[in-house]
Amino acid sequence: MHYAIIGTDQDESLEARISARPEHLRRLEKLKDEGRLLLAGPFPAIDSEEPGPAGFTGSLIVAEFPDLKSAKAWADQDPYTLTGVYACVTVTPFKKVLP
């Protein structure tokens, strides 16, 4: 089943996000290589694909996991979680309908 992982950034977390990004992307690439990643990306803090110093307000990852417990465990080990980029993380089942 797919699960949506929604991370909400702490205020002023851009520097920590930039620092943790390579390891965060490595884990996402692994999900992609395993055919489990549906989509992933950040929420820009302003209406721009490149928000610069405004940074981001969080991220969305939708990926396949065996169960909710596994999805939560994966999210708990994300570098953005471990380094305090995220103030909170929500993990919820996701049913893809379209496309």
User: In which order are the strands placed within the sheet that holds 2-9?
Assistant: 37-44, 56-64, 2-9, 86-94
Helix/strand/coil for 26: helix
pTM: 0.96
Q: Rounded to 5 degrees, what are φ and ψ at 25?
A: -65, -35
pLDDT in tens, 7-63: 999 999 999 999 999 999 999 999 999 999 999 999 999 999 999 999 999 999 999
What per-residue confidence (pLDDT) applies to 97?
A: 97
What per-residue confidence (pLDDT) applies to 63?
A: 98
pLDDT category at 89 given cuts 50, 70, 90 is very high
What per-residue confidence (pLDDT) applies to 62?
A: 98
